[in-house]
Every structure is written in C-alpha cells, then in structure tokens.
Amino acid sequence: MTSPWCFAAVAGALVALQIAVLCWLGQPWVAESGRILLWAGDPLSTDTSQQISDWYSFSHVIHGFLFYALLHVLTPRLPLPARLLIAIGLEVGWEIAENLPMSIQHYRQQALAVGYSGDSILNSVLDTVMMVIGFVMALRMPVWSVVALGIGFEVFTILMIRDGLILNLIGFVWTPAFIAQWQGGP
C-alpha cells in the first residue's frame, strides 16, 4: 500500500462503489432544480443535502476528526494511507446507510427533515471529501485544536439550525419530545 497509485485506485474504487450504490438506490446526480450551488444555507430548502456543501458538511468534517482519532488509537501500527482508506470506507458506508429508504423515512420523522429525500450523488461524494478534509486536519493540527474545532462546529451548527451530528445520532435512536419541539422552531 506504499504506492500513491495503489492508494488512489482503492480510494477511487470506494467512491465508485458509493456512486454505484446511490445510483442503484435511485438518488439523483444533482438537485432536482438542476442547479449546482457551492452552499445551501437554508436547512429547510430542497437544496439541503443536494448541493456541494450545506450545514451538514460540518458534521462530515467531524466524522474525519473522529475516524482519525479512532483509527489512531485502534490501529497505531497501520500505515497512515491504510487508516485513511478505512476512514473513507467507513464514510462511504455511512453515506450509503443514510440514503437507504428506511433511513430516509426515519429522517422524515424529524422536524428539520420532513421533506428529506436523501442526498444527491454530488452532495454525498462531497460529504466523503469533507470527511477526508477532517481526517487530514486531525492529522496536521494539535489535538486540543481539533477537539475545540469539533466542539465549535457542533455548537455553531446546533445554534444556527437546531441540528448537528449529536442531535442527528440521538434522533436515530430516540428523539425526546423537548428536542423535537425545539427543532420545530418557535
């Protein structure tokens, strides 16, 4: 796995698998509108989870932080490129799982995702890129700054749109009534 070409081939194969499965699941390549935007800022818009980036991009950067930390602890002797490939595989798995019909239906039960139809392939692939960015940031930055940035991203997102990685994960298991009411807005 020392060859950059080998790494690129495996990473490309993982993303190709992601694209193939999302196509098979019927996810669109881009937003229904046909527009491609750098940022979709309205969490209730049909452009959320369809564009290059949105509020949930922060969560995918946090995935990179977490995957780096987890793999650093669990596989310290594994070469870094192999750990990054495992992280990409985990993110691809996440992206596929969150676009399964049962996951989409579950998301629709949450206040912010009533009209959610899954990710566009563009958004999903760029979510994987966001995870890689987070992984590389965690590799390059001091631990304290990665922790502070991860907490900052999460708090910022929760304050801005009343959602984030933690609330998303809680919502998959159980959404307490007070969180559902708060996310529903004033």
CA distance linking residue 135 with residue 83, whole number of Å: 10
Q: Where are the domains of the chain?
A: 48-184
Q: Averaging pLDDT over each range in 2-6, 56-60, 115-119, which range is the top one?
A: 56-60
For the purposes of burial, counting CB atoms within 10 Å of the CB of 10, is it exposed (0-12), middle (13-18) or buried (19 or more)? middle
CA distance linking residue 114 with residue 140, whole number of Å: 38
Q: What's the pLDDT tens digit per position in 107-157?
A: 877 756 667 899 999 999 999 999 999 999 999 999 999 999 999 999 999
Tokens of 12: 């490309």
Q: What's the pLDDT tens digit per position in 28-53?
A: 999 999 999 999 999 889 999 999 99
The pTM (predicted TM-score) of the whole model is 0.94
Q: Which residue has the tokens 């495992």?
A: 86
CA distances from 135 to 8, 94, 113, 129, 146 (A): 16, 15, 27, 10, 10
Which of 10 and 174 is assigned the larger pLDDT?
Answer: 10
pLDDT at position 180: 77
Which of 160 and 180 is assigned the larger pLDDT?
Answer: 160
pLDDT at position 172: 77
- Secondary structure (H, E, C), the chain: CCCHHHHHHHHHHHHHHHHHHHHHCCCCCCCCCCCCCCCECCCCCCCCCCCCCECCHHHHHHHHHHHHHHHHHHCCCCCHHHHHHHHHHHHHHHHHHHCCHHHHHHHCCCHHHCCCCCCCHHHHHHHHHHHHHHHHHHHHCCHHHHHHHHHHHHHHHHHHHCCCHHHHHHHHHCCCHHHHHHHHCC
Q: What's the pLDDT tens digit per position in 65-95?
A: 999 999 999 999 999 999 999 999 999 999 9
Tokens of 71: 């793999």
For the cut 70, the answer to whether the pLDDT of residue 1 exceeds it is no
For the cut 70, the answer to whether the pLDDT of residue 6 exceeds it is yes
pLDDT at position 66: 98
pLDDT at position 112: 67
For the cut 70, the answer to whether the pLDDT of residue 186 exceeds it is no
pLDDT at position 38: 98
